[in-house]
A and B are shown apart, each in its own frame.
Chain A
């Protein structure tokens, strides 16, 4: 790929496509968003940075968990979206920023699944949070990213949030020798959040031509792996970074990623005596602490599969898996060793919303995955370094969140913002840089 130079407005014609100058310079030609744009950027900054702190400092308050700054910003934009849809003058503009049909289909199935929820308030609360973040949060972040400068700003915020989150965890675990994971009480939620955000940020940094950015990206990967206390976090980073390395196809980047993974492994082995590392070893192990019984997580997965024999389409209702799963252990042992949020996101989605819910979720992943791959290919062939970095970041983030979802659902309150950020990065990269070129194909 050509290195990006200062002369970004150089015309490059590719046979059979529209002029890339129009596409590359399109962000500068974008209409200023005015006060609403500034408000969107402010809300996005609050939402992204505050997500690093989960629900601190009022983590035990249910109201704060519902209306923490991240959720509140998304809620405000859900209201703005509703008002704009009612007003015909702004309807067309806002509809361009609404997520893809697959996301709306997934939300529809979640709403319908409320019909089978034994605890209606729990189901409504879960679906409400999904709606607010997947619609309002998506529109907020899409509105905030309206040109290359704001896109870089948002990626900068993602990097900052990753650094805050990972640093907090390293300090609390290795300096203060505590049981918490920085600002997160739960290692599974921390693992999914940190792995997704760090993979997004690290891929963006590693794709930079500047050596210092690449070093920073490699350090971020190592720090995330060191801080991880769950198998899912390790799997997510170890899957996402080589995938990013493959699509980048550059030896230097491969060197940085390989070096960071090897250094982290060596440090982990050296710190083996440290009780803080044992958490990860315990999570990776197939057996419980007694060394005899199978880890309850895997029994739980089987219970969710057994549930599908009876409730293949109806499911248990969104957010209501806990009300039903204990009936489907059959002759498998039911121990009280399952930790909170230790849940397979795919099986939980299928068990709660039925087969159609899982299909819609896979549709989301496939749609945005296809966009990510196409964007990476287009960017690799094009002159825009910025587009290339954004495309690679989106791809790595998607791989990370799909891998992490196996061990802790990406739809939990506090973690869902990471998933929304990934899909927004992918969709805005395609819309800002490649919309014209892809239409011509």
Chain B
């Protein structure tokens, strides 16, 4: 059954609008993350910011071939992951029902990225799953399973010898599990060339400032 042209153009318009909204949400998340990072000294010092500046420049390129494009996406995910890692140790207080709740600064960033992901998915035409996605997802699960298995084996041994508990392991497992949804969300958002380039430009400025401030 063929679609009539007016419906097709309406669909395309709404797809473009939703893509633009999704990109704006994603860019806002990157900008907020960079701003929070710069508001205080970096908890994890970037010893060699030039490497990350070069990586951000790499995001501005356009490649026909799949392999460099995939590496570009991976680089972007890594750089955004670095921002989230830096701010994840910073917290702010929120009053909820007369109770003070401490929230990590990574939560608003993750919420913005999740909103971008949902809006993009709403407006997507067809299934745009990248190739090898199942194997990469399996790699994530295997990596998390490996770490959790090692924690599980070490836990009783350390408890027996030193009375050492699982409390740190739970915090580690929890924070590592957060990066899987971030990866899934970013993988979709970074498929867009414009979003990738804008992110690259913002990150270049951010790492240049870090380089300047650290000197």
Contact = CB atoms under 8 A, between A and B. Distances in A.
**Is the pairing of A and B real?**
yes
A164 B215 CA distance: 53
A308 B150 contact: no
Nearest to B46: A115
A279 interface: no
Interface stretch (B11-19, B92-100, B114-122, B172-180): B172-180
A309 B168 contact: yes
Interface string A112-144: 101111101000000000000000000000000
Contacts of A286: 157
Contacts of B142: 362, 365-366
Contacts of B135: 363, 366-367, 370
A313 B78 contact: yes
Interface stretch (B20-28, B31-39, B49-57, B191-199): B49-57
Contact of A331 (B132, B140, B147, B162): B162
A314 B43 CA distance: 11
Contact of B47 (A117, A298, A311, A360): A117
A131 to B, nearest CB: 14
Interface in B37-79: 43-49, 51-52, 55, 67, 70-71, 74-75, 77-79
Contact of B168 (A118, A330, A361): A330
Given A108-B71, A355-B143, A312 B176 contact: yes
B125 interface: no
Contacts of B150: 301, 305, 344, 346-347
A233 to B, nearest CB: 19
B176 A308 contact: yes
Interface residues of A, number: 52
Interface string A407-431: 0000000000000000000000000
Contact of B171 (A108, A112, A309, A314): A309
A155 B82 CA distance: 43
A42 interface: no
B75 A305 contact: no
Contact of A332 (B48, B67, B164, B179): B164
B84 interface: yes
B89 interface: yes
Interface of B is mostly: helix
A109 B76 CA distance: 11
Nearest to B84: A313
Nearest to A346: B146
A359 B51 CA distance: 21
A355 B181 CA distance: 13
B85 A314 contact: yes
Contact of B136 (A312, A317, A347, A359): A359
A298 B158 contact: yes
Contacts of B49: 115
Contacts of B48: 114-117, 120
A312 B44 CA distance: 11
B139 A363 contact: yes
A29 interface: no
Contacts of B162: 294, 331-333
Most buried by A among B81, B86, B158, B161: B161
Contact of B74 (A108, A310, A330, A361): A108
Interface of B: 43-49, 51-52, 55, 67, 70-71, 74-75, 77-79, 81-82, 84-86, 88-89, 132, 135-136, 138-140, 142-143, 146-147, 150-151, 154, 157-158, 161-162, 164, 168-169, 171-172, 175-176, 179
Given A101-B132, A105-B74, A332-B158, 17 more contacts: A114-B51, A115-B52, A116-B44, A116-B47, A116-B48, A294-B161, A299-B158, A302-B164, A309-B171, A313-B81, A344-B150, A346-B147, A347-B150, A358-B147, A361-B143, A362-B140, A363-B139
27 contacts: A108-B78, A112-B55, A112-B75, A114-B51, A115-B46, A115-B49, A115-B55, A116-B48, A120-B48, A305-B169, A305-B172, A309-B171, A309-B175, A310-B89, A311-B44, A311-B85, A312-B88, A331-B162, A331-B164, A332-B162, A346-B146, A355-B179, A356-B74, A359-B140, A361-B143, A363-B135, A365-B142
